[in-house]
Amino acid sequence: MLLRLGGIFFVIGLVLWLWALFDSVTAPADRVRLLPKLLWILIVVVFTDVGAVLWFLGGRPRATAGAPARPLSFGWQSHGSSGSARRRPSAPDDDPEFLRRLAEDVRRKRRAEGQDDADGGS
């Protein structure tokens, strides 16, 4: 039982250390707190678990108020330079115009192959 518990703690420590290492390497250098970024990376590498905990408590950049921690990658986003820019989907399957053109292309291909448009246009 004790061996199994030690294995679980080892895996948790390894995941924590890898997360801290990745986070410290990818953090913007101008937002890292207390020490220079390179020194934080060395602390995380040399002191492993303790360095990871120190990174999360003292070096990791904090999210600024009102700003998302990570940029949105999918969904509806503003495009353009003005604040009142029109909004459009960022992924093709969120765009009704793209889906309409896709359905038209499928119908056209079926007609070209001699098949009926059995679904009634949808």
Q: Report if residue 80 sits inside a domain.
A: no
- The domain boundary residue, chosen from 11, 38, 59: 59
Q: Report if residue 102 sits inside a domain.
A: yes
Q: Report if residue 16 sits inside a domain.
A: yes
Question: Are 53 and 95 within one domain?
Answer: no
Number of domains observed in the structure of the chain: 2
According to the model, what pLDDT value does residue 84 have?
Answer: 47
- The domain boundary residue, chosen from 15, 41, 59: 59
Q: Report if residue 86 sits inside a domain.
A: no
Question: Are 6 and 55 within one domain?
Answer: yes
Q: Report if residue 9 sits inside a domain.
A: yes
Spell out the per-residue pLDDT of the chain, length 122, in tens: 667 777 888 899 999 999 999 999 999 988 888 889 999 999 999 998 899 999 989 888 877 655 555 554 444 454 444 444 556 666 777 778 888 888 999 999 999 888 655 555 55
Among candidates 75, 98, 97, 100, which has minimal Cα distance to 87?
A: 75
The single residue listed with the structure tokens 């600024």 is 64
Domain that residue 106 falls in: 91-122
Lookup: tokens for 99: 């889906």
Let me know if 44 is exposed, middle or buried by CB neighbors in 10 A (0-12, 13-18, 19+).
Answer: buried
Q: Report if residue 47 sits inside a domain.
A: yes
Q: Are 44 and 77 in contact (CB under 8 A)?
A: no
Among candidates 21, 60, 12, 25, which has minimal Cα distance to 44?
A: 21
Q: Report if residue 53 sits inside a domain.
A: yes
Q: Report if residue 71 sits inside a domain.
A: no
